């Protein structure tokens, strides 16, 4: 059974890590997928090729999600190729880590503009199309679905990464506010908040045995996540199986948000 048959999905930042797994998982459920990339064209084309090899449909479209004109151009190209959009996965994100006293304004703004500003621009463009088109009941009960790729750091403070944590914390209330606003149009809006997933963004946290051991202390379930853990959840949130789920954040973190430092009840 293909739960996303005939639906069009845009996955931002889909040439790497979690975005690849989400794009492939949506395509495997029948969605026609736009693989957005900023600069990694050959990696994006590779994702398209792999989706096609499995019998799926995908195209790669370039856009920096923090650039309004580029995003609007990408949406126009997506509409020319597939006619509309049903699912937006706001996945593109980045880190530029520094302690507060060493953080440049440029690095603060870059992270906020991409992680938060980019999701605003893409969500606005998708919502306009969802509202214009409305529900097509053969495809989905909803007029559209927006999924944000947040982080456990939308609730766990993170010293040395304050710009990143601020962007994800901001995303939480942005997601909930537009969920309130868009429900009347039957547009569902939710977030996935990954814990530690093995991707290039956090390579130094899992690359060496020493780093892995330190990281595993934060994960009660005892393993580092893989992008496919997130891909499966994205399919569920995009499908009618989650039709009554709205304004929620799904923490997929092996229990990281259970604050394992307090597991013994001491201290
Ligand atoms: P990644 O670095 O492998 O992927 C990030 C992707 O975003 C890349 O493809 C990158 O090119 C793209 N991107 C960055 N800036 C962009 C821009 N301006 N325009 C378009 N694309 C842009 O990392 P990942 O782990 O796959 O991260 C994906 C998302 O998941 C991010 O939002 C990240 O914050 C979030 N996340 C990841 C983890 C984790 O443990 N890996 C945990 C929590 C949240």
Q: For the chain, which domains are there?
A: 8-263 (3.40.50.720)
239 close to ligand 1 (CB < 6 Angstrom): no
Q: Are 20 and 45 contacting, i.e. CB atoms less than 8 angstroms apart?
A: no
Q: Is the pTM of this model over 0.95?
A: yes
Q: Who contacts 88 (Cβ-Cβ below 8 Å, separation ≥6)?
A: 9, 10, 12, 122, 123, 126, 144, 145, 146, 147
Ligand 1 midpoint to CA 19 (Å): 7
**Distance, CA of 96 to CA of 98 (rounded, Å):** 7
Ligand 1 pocket test target in 17, 121, 174 with most atoms within 8 Å of CB: 17
Ligand 1 pocket test target in 22, 40, 94, 203 with most atoms within 8 Å of CB: 94
pLDDT score at 265: 84
117 close to ligand 1 (CB < 6 Angstrom): no
122 close to ligand 1 (CB < 6 Angstrom): no
- Going by their DSSP bridges, the two strands 87-90 and 8-11 should be labelled as parallel
Ligand 1 midpoint to CA 87 (Å): 18
Is 259 a catalytic site residue? Answer: no
Ligand 1 midpoint to CA 94 (Å): 5
Q: What share of the chain is helix, strand, coil (3-state, %, to 5)?
A: 50, 15, 35
Q: What are phi and psi of 102, to 5 degrees?
A: -105, 0
pLDDT score at 267: 61
Ligand 1 pocket test target in 123, 174, 201, 215 with most atoms within 8 Å of CB: 201
Host H or E run for residue 241: none
Mean pLDDT per 10-residue interval, the chain, length 267 residues = 95 98 98 98 98 98 98 98 98 98 98 98 99 97 98 98 98 98 98 97 94 96 97 98 98 97 82
pLDDT score at 1: 78
Angle at 142 between CA 233 and CA 31, to 5 degrees: 55
Angle at 192 between CA 53 and CA 233, to 5 degrees: 45
Q: Are 22 and 237 contacting, i.e. CB atoms less than 8 angstroms apart?
A: no
Cross-strand pairs, 189: 146
Task: Using alpha carbons, list the distances in angstroms from residue 202 to 93, 142, 190, 205.
Answer: 12, 35, 24, 5
**Distance, CA of 226 to CA of 31 (rounded, Å):** 22
Q: Which atom of ligand 1 is nearest to the CA of 196?
A: 40
pLDDT score at 266: 77
């Amino acid at each position: 059974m293909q739960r996303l048959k005939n639906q069009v999905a845009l996955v931002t930042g889909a040439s790497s890590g979690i975005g690849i797994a989400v794009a492939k998982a949506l395509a495997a459920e029948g969605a026609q997928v736009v693989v957005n990339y900023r600069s990694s064209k050959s990696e994006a084309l590779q994702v398209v090729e792999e989706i096609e090899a499995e019998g799926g449909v995908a195209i790669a479209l370039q856009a920096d999600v923090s650039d309004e004109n580029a995003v609007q151009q990408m949406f126009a190209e997506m509409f020319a190729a597939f006619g509309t959009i049903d699912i937006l996965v706001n996945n593109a994100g980045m880190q530029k880590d520094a302690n507060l006293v060493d953080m440049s304004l440029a690095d603060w703004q870059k992270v906020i503009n991409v992680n938060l500003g980019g999701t605003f621009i893409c969500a606005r463009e998708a919502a306009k199309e969802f509202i214009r088109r409305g529900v097509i009941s053969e495809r989905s009960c909803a007029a559209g679905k927006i999924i944000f790729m947040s982080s456990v750091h939308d609730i766990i403070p993170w010293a040395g990464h304050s710009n990143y944590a601020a962007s994800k914390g901001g995303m939480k209330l942005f997601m909930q506010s537009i969920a309130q606003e868009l429900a009347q149009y039957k547009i569902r809006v939710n977030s996935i908040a990954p814990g530690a997933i093995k991707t290039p963004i956090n390579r130094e946290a899992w690359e060496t045995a020493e780093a892995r051991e330190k990281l595993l202390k934060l994960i009660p379930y005892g393993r580092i996540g893989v992008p496919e853990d997130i891909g499966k959840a994205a399919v569920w949130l995009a499908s009618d199986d989650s039709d009554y789920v709205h304004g929620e954040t799904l923490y997929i973190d092996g229990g990281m948000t259970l604050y394992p430092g307090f597991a013994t009840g001491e201290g």
